[in-house]
Structure 1
């Protein structure tokens, strides 16, 4: 396996794409052409949640994928919207342009995002054809079109997230202010700004097939966001699979011992770890 860290815009952004490229085969005459998946960890747009990065990558590597971890632009001035979505688009394009060199199936490039990483992945999946990306990257939009999308407890509606967070029993105000400062340049963005980058408002028939999972106990991103998003997928006739696990807090990643959970912890979110096998089965059926 080859592991390479690729700066996406050196000197301007802190975004990187870490590539985990599996060996083609023992016989170069008959290389194995593999699907690829880009992992987008969460972190509230002010950090990167590492348990949603390499541990998830390793699971997909074991299933036969080339895997790429996108650590998109974050932080004040650097991560302001639409920078993270441009990073995601560049990642898809980079993989597609290097498909022959990396033995990637260029028609099987998926995104997998968690929490705010799920927001970035979903925004790109919904808006890959939009002018803001074409102007920023200067390339044909089909080069950065993802073929499938996997979302774990994703942030999907920024207006709803703000309203629910302020009513939540958790003290979310400091986190909201840091996140909004990073992505909007203000701690109190108006409703128009919040709605502009809400995924539910951007879905069209161009959205790729989507797999989504969350938990009913998530106290950070309300399950209602996912329910509303699925309704929009249905309205646009987008193929989807949706799982709501009864137990489990926000940010579980794989939900097992590989990301630090003990047996007692796993009993509190008993079935969440099954999402990986469900997603892999869904992808296999989708990709043929």
Structure 2
């Protein structure tokens, strides 16, 4: 089929129609930057052809060279046969206007906290310039640590991860953004290797939060990601429980903890009925990210 396509498909419009048909036929799962076959095909083809990611219309009826067709069809075929997330094929992921390098060593960035950082966590942080110290737990590719550095210009950021492979990717992204003097990468299991004298105005985390049942049901695309970055025990709260126990001792007076927990709101509220969670509004709703002030957290 793909060999015939190399001979018969002439324009970008032709390739797009073919790609969407093949994606739907293969039953691919989307959720790593796009949520449907059309958007995924547009992204992969524009990227492969070195065209602007936001300028499709002017190029739809442009004829492709034989080399361009071959390269475009190769990435479409690989997406189908290997079920790799698009970000692993292009080695990039976007959070808003910010691009990050990614590969199979890290989870593909897709955190709701990113959009909250774009707004500098207003109104919960009154003066972004007064934020001096930030901790990003489970930093992965380093994307949230970098966004925090951009949101809070005077802050020093500590970015923690248990995976040395993830920290290697994060180091590349920190270097790309020229933030090496402000973002320190730390190999640590949550707080364990973080300087016990350090105190933070803000702790953020997009930790693993997939429960055991959901892990068993993951589609192939998600199984390409590191299990360490996804699985969080029977109910998905193993790491969050540790954060809730230990965060107070690591926060300055008035400091805040912001954590993403996916679809686990009801489970978390049932497990911690006395904690006054504030659920933050995101474009997807107010079910996914909670905030607690230091004074609302339990003592260790």
| Category of TM-score, reference length = shorter chain | 0.3 to 0.5
Between the two structures, name the one with larger relative contact order (CA 8 Å, sep ≥ 6): 1
What TM-score, normalized to structure 2? Answer: 0.33
What TM-score, normalized to structure 1? Answer: 0.34
Please tell me whether Structure 1 or Structure 2 has the larger radius of gyration of its CA atoms: 2
